[in-house]
Amino acid sequence: MEKIKQVIENRDVKIKPIWLMRQAGRYLPEFREIRSKNQNFIELCLNETLVPEITLQPLKRFDLDAAIIFSDILMLHYGLGQSVKFKKDFGPMLGDINDVDLNNVTEKNFIKNLEPVYESMNNLSKSLKGGDKSLIGFVGAPWTILIYMLNRQSPKKNLSNDLHNIDKKKSLSKIITKYLKIHIREQVKSGATVIQIFDSWAGLAAKDDIKSIIYNCSADLVEFTKSLGVPAICFPREIIDYKEYVSEVNPSAVNIDYNVDINYISKNINIPVQGGLDPKFLLSDKETLKSESLKILDIFKDYPYIFNLGHGVLPKTDPNMVDYLVNIVKDY
Ligand code: 1CP
């Protein structure tokens, strides 16, 4: 049985599986090599030969318990027909959603646009089948997808002021949720055994949006994912109230960010937990990395817990430090 499912479904506290957000990516020289020859990031995500290869790169180096498909949450916008480009040293740049006739988007077209992603998933599923490693598919949560759709660039760079006053936010989030379900369903059909839902900008939501978009739409997605027989791990990064989030959204497991009080989480959350380690510790020395990881492992000793970070692996990370971390967790 997959170790991650053993923790989520059987609440096994004896094993502490590990995978890392952004485990495939720029900190790996073998990824940079491929990336340098493939300037168009969206095209790379649609490359049926390279996506499985990149996805498996970290598993060749480290004893990880899951592969997460190399893709991006912004593929949803691409699937809907909103243009997406990645500018070097800047990040994503999206086209105007008003230029897209959303009434004209069909399920068939959407799936056709993303077919190569599902083909890559199929491919990966074949190579991982029967083992104890999970194949993680993922989507952005409706709120985070909406933020990129309207803001058209990272909210980290510049969050448009009038974003909070847009009245079509609710109707757009309904459409987004509809297509996120299709994207989840197709990934599961193609072999994803776990779905992670990234709400990277949950911390930016105002009270009204937390209730009407983050809670309502995420709960809808989680219920849908569970109905397919697959667990949903939610990562509501920097949400104020993880406890309320868990009771409103009801995910199969929750990934915590690195600003939360881990002791509070271990006492107040009663579902399996994932993550929490500050990715910056991978940039420190081995001693610090070890003591910080052991601190977390000790707190979650008797809890169903999946080791992961509180956000993605940073590009400056030394792969040897990742190896060291994986071994700490394996030896625990
Ligand atoms: O080489 C490059 O320049 C591309 C860098 C890169 C990579 C490696 C981007 C652009 N996306 C990815 C892959 C990716 N994105 C994965 C791969 C699987 C893995 O984890 O190994 C995943 C899960 C994502 C998900 C993703 N994309 C999120 C959610 C998680 C998070 O980091 O908060 C978000 C917010 C994105 C948008 C995005 N894509 C890429 C960048 C640079 C960004 C962030 C931009 C911003 O700060 O707003």
pLDDT of residue 167: 76
- Mean pLDDT, the chain, rounded, equals 96
Query: Which pTM does this prediction carry?
Result: 0.97
Q: How many CA atoms lie within 13 A of 295 on its CB side?
A: 13
CATH architecture for the domain at 3-331: Alpha-Beta Barrel (3.20)
Residues facing 275 on adjacent strands: 256
Which DSSP symbol is given to 271?
S
Cα diameter, the chain: 56
- CB count within 10 Å of CB 200 equals 23
Pocket of ligand 1 (CB under 6 A): 21-26, 35, 41, 68, 70, 72-74, 86, 91-92, 138, 154, 156, 198, 200, 312
pLDDT digits (tens, 9 = 90+) for 144-202: 999 999 999 999 877 777 777 677 898 999 999 999 999 999 999 999 999 999 999 99
pLDDT digits (tens, 9 = 90+) for 12-70: 999 999 999 999 999 999 999 999 999 999 999 999 999 999 999 999 999 999 999 99
Per residue in 256-295, is it b (16+ CB within 10 Å) or e — as a string?
bbbebebeebbeebebbbbbbbebbbbeeeeeebeebbee
pLDDT of residue 200: 97
Q: Which of 72, 89, 234, 258 to mutate to test the pocket of ligand 1 (most atoms within 8 A of CB)?
A: 72
pLDDT of residue 163: 74
Per residue in 86-113, is it b (16+ CB within 10 Å) or e — as a string?
eeeeeebebeebeebeeeebeeeebbeb
Helix (H) or strand (E) holding 100: none
88 Cβ neighbours under 8 A, 6+ residues apart: none
Q: Which atom of ligand 1 is nearest to the CA of 144?
A: 35
Distance CA 242, CA 266 (A): 11
**pLDDT band for position 309 (cuts 50, 70, 90):** very high
3-class secondary-structure state, position 285 = coil
User: How much is the average pLDDT of 132-147?
Assistant: 98
Q: Which atom of ligand 1 is nearest to the CA of 55?
A: 21
Strand ordering across the sheet containing 66-68: 66-68, 134-140, 194-199, 232-236, 253-256, 273-275, 305-306
Residue with tokens 């004209």: 104
Domain boundaries, the chain: 3-331
CB 125 within 8 A of CB 135: yes
User: How much is the average pLDDT of 78-102?
Assistant: 95
pLDDT digits (tens, 9 = 90+) for 271-286: 999 999 999 999 999 9
pLDDT digits (tens, 9 = 90+) for 213-263: 999 999 999 999 999 999 999 999 999 999 999 999 999 999 999 999 999
Q: Which atom of ligand 1 is nearest to the CA of 148?
A: 48
Name the residue with the closest Cα to ligand 1, atom 24: 72
276 Cβ neighbours under 8 A, 6+ residues apart: 256, 257, 258, 260, 262, 265, 296, 308, 309, 310
CB 269 within 8 A of CB 304: no
Distance CA 75, CA 297 (A): 34
pLDDT of residue 35: 97
pLDDT of residue 161: 72
What DSSP string runs through 56-81?
HHHHHHS--SEEE-S--TTHHHHHHT
